[in-house]
Each structure stands twice: as structure tokens, then as C-alpha cells.
């Protein structure tokens, strides 16, 4: 029996909760578009920000907009619509885009950690290399997602076609398959090791070297400036990987493993993980970065006085 070309998801049994989530997520999505859009705009318009570091920051902001746009609009529509269905093609597209953006962000955060290290320890050597590494992050994300999505879509789906989730994640869709998915799980394990754990290891090594280098700086002003160079990125890394670890490593009681309450909780956490981090990123970088704040002030003053 093949996929019947539709899938059901969401919190169908909790209409009031769906309405509340719609309002909250809609507001947060607007903040994501405005905050990340502003960072992209100032990184393009302000000549002082035409550096590899802010090139990475612009990439991260663009990535957050793309990532949230692949899932949030369809989720908001599902909250208000009684017909919560999707075609297999649309499901595959959302799987591909979501995994591609997620993989790219993991790799990009690793590259940004290395960028922080080079900016402090070897500031004259890295512009072309870092831009190439940013482009490589997007390519890696697209290739990883394409391979995994193709293998999942080819599986036979002969079970209940109800996906009890907000978004079409590959792990959730694989549960519907009536074939052996050990090959898919092996590919996913390899991809996780390469594109999540390896960037995390790069981040740990980079910040270890950064801390060692900072303590070698004699002046307190120099140490303070070095810390401020990477503090915003470190905050984003902690939030990003902290939410991932909380999502997938939190303990589950056997009594509540298959309960409706636990399933609803996991879905809400996944939505806020996918929304909160992209919303906080521009706030963290703008509030903890003097260059960004000055660029925003300069842009606003220029627009105000031009009138």
C-alpha cells in the first residue's frame, strides 16, 4: 500500500492551545524576519562591516530566515485550517529544506568558531578561506539533505499515514515506513557524526585555543576586546546545541513514553526550538556587539537626516 498523498499533524485535540501557539509563533516569526533582515541589510550597506566575520553573520541571518520560512508558515496555516493534509511531494520538499538548513547551521557555527580563533590569533590570513568555508557549509547542507531525503522518499509507506508532529522531520516520516530502515538509520548516524558532532568538536577545540590565547594577552583591555569578539557567537552556540541536547537527550519515563501529554510537549518544544533560536540570534549579536549597534544607529540617522 502506497502513501495516500496526505498526512495529518498538529494539536487537533487542543484547539485553544493551537490558537495561542498561532499568536505567539506569528509574533516571533515577524521578529525573526525583522531582526535577521536588519542584520543582513546593515552588513551589506555599512562598509565597516564588510569583513569575513560579518559575512558569516549575514549568512547565519539569511539561514535563519530560510529555515523558519520552510516550516513556520505551513505550521501557522495548519493551526487555523481544519484540513491538515499534505502531499508526499510537499512533505519531501519540507524535509529536504529543513534538514539542509539545519545541517548548514551546524557546519556554519563550527566555521564561525574557527573564524573567531583566526580573528584573534591570525587576523591577516583568513578572508578568502573563511568565505570559501561559508559557501562550503551551504553545499554540505544541500548534499546531506538531498541524500537522506531521496532514501526516505523511496521507502514503502504502508502504515497509518498520520504524522503526530508539527513539521515533517525525517525521523518522524521514517516511522511510517513498513520496510527495514536500518540503512537509513546508518546514513543518518554517519551524517550526524560528520555534520553535528564534528562541528561541535571544532567549536570546543577552537574555544579552547581562544581561551589559551586570551590568557596570554598581557593587557586587560586586550583580553576584554578578545572576549567580546567571540562572546556573541559562544552565546548562540550554547543556545543552539543546548536546545538540541535537551530535545534528544532528556530522560523519558516508561509510563509517559507514548502518552498524548508527552507527544504534545515534544511538539511544542520542537516548535519553540525552531523559532526561539532564530529569533534570539539577531538580538544577541546586536545587543552584545558595538559594531552592529553603531551600524544600526548610522543607518537610522542617515535615513532620518536624508528626509
Domains in the chain, number: 1
Please give the residue that has the higher pLDDT: either 273 or 26. 26
3 state SS of 157: strand
Could you list the residue range(s) of the whole structural domain that residue 43 is in?
A: 15-292
Q: Which one, of 116, 55, 46, lies nearest residue 293 by Cα?
A: 46
CATH number at residue 74: 1.20.1070.10
Confidence band of 306 (pLDDT split at 50, 70, 90):
low
User: What is the model's pLDDT at position 6?
Assistant: 45
Per-residue pLDDT, 37: 92
Is there a domain that residue 70 lies in? Answer: yes
> Is the pLDDT at 293 greater than 60, yes or no?
yes
Nearest to 66, CA basis, from 33, 22, 20, 27: 33
Residue 73 located in a structural domain: yes
**208-265 per-position pLDDT tens digit:** 888 887 777 777 776 776 677 677 777 778 877 776 666 655 554 444 444 555 555 6
What local confidence, expressed as pLDDT, does residue 13 receive?
56
Q: What is the enclosing helix (H) or strand (E) of 106?
A: helix 88-121
Q: Output the pLDDT for position 159.
A: 58
Model pTM score: 0.79
Average pLDDT score, the chain: 76
Residue 22 lies in a domain: yes
Measured torsion, CA atoms of residues 167, 173, 150, 272, in degrees rounded to the nearest 10:
20
Residue 5 domain-assigned (yes or no)? no
In a domain, 118, yes or no: yes
For the chain, the farthest-separated pair of C-alpha atoms sits apart, in whole angstroms, at: 70
Angle, CA of 80, 81 and 83, to the nearest 5°: 160
Is 305 within the bounds of a domain?
no
Look at residue 62 and tell me if it is in a domain: yes
pLDDT of residue 304: 53
Q: Is the residue at 93 inside a domain?
A: yes
Amino acid at each position: 500500500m502506497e502513501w495516500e498523498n496526505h498526512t495529518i499533524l498538529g494539536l487537533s485535540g487542543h484547539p485553544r492551545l493551537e490558537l495561542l501557539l498561532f499568536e505567539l509563533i506569528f509574533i516571533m516569526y515577524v521578529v525573526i524576519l525583522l531582526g535577521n533582515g536588519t542584520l543582513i541589510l546593515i552588513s551589506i550597506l555599512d562598509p565597516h562591516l564588510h569583513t569575513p566575520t560579518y559575512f558569516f553573520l549575514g549568512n547565519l541571518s539569511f539561514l535563519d530566515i530560510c529555515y523558519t520560512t520552510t516550516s513556520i508558515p505551513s505550521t501557522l496555516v495548519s493551526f487555523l485550517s481544519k484540513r491538515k493534509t499534505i502531499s508526499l511531494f510537499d512533505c519531501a520538499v519540507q524535509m529536504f529544506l529543513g534538514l539542509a538548513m539545519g545541517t548548514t547551521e551546524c557546519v556554519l557555527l563550527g566555521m564561525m568558531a574557527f573564524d573567531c580563533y583566526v580573528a584573534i590569533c591570525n587576523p591577516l590570513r583568513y578572508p578568502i578561506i573563511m568565505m570559501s568555508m561559508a559557501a562550503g557549509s551551504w553545499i554540505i547542507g544541500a548534499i546531506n539533505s538531498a541524500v537522506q531525503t531521496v532514501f526516505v522518499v523511496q521507502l514503502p509507506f504502508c502504515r497509518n499515514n498520520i504524522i503526530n508532529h508539527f513539521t515533517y522531520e525525517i525521523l518522524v516520516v521514517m516511522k511510517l515506513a513498513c520496510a527495514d530502515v536500518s540503512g537509513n538509520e546508518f546514513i543518518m548516524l554517519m551524517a550526524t557524526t560528520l555534520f553535528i558532532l564534528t562541528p561541535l568538536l571544532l567549536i570546543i577545540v577552537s574555544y579552547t585555543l581562544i581561551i589559551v590565547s586570551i590568557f596570554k594577552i598581557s593587557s586587560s583591555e586586550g583580553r576584554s576586546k578578545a572576549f567580546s569578539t567571540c562572546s556573541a557567537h559562544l552565546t548562540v552556540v550554547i543556545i543552539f546545541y543546548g536546545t538540541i541536547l535537551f530535545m534528544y537527550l532528556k530522560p523519558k519515563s516508561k509510563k509517559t513514553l507514548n502518552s498524548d501529554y508527552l507527544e504534545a510537549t515534544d511538539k511544542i518544544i520542537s516548535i519553540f526550538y525552531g523559532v526561539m533560536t532564530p529569533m534570539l540570534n539577531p538580538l544577541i549579536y546586536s545587543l552584545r556587539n558595538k559594531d552592529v549597534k553603531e551600524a544600526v544607529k548610522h543607518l537610522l540617522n542617515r535615513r532620518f537626516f536624508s528626509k
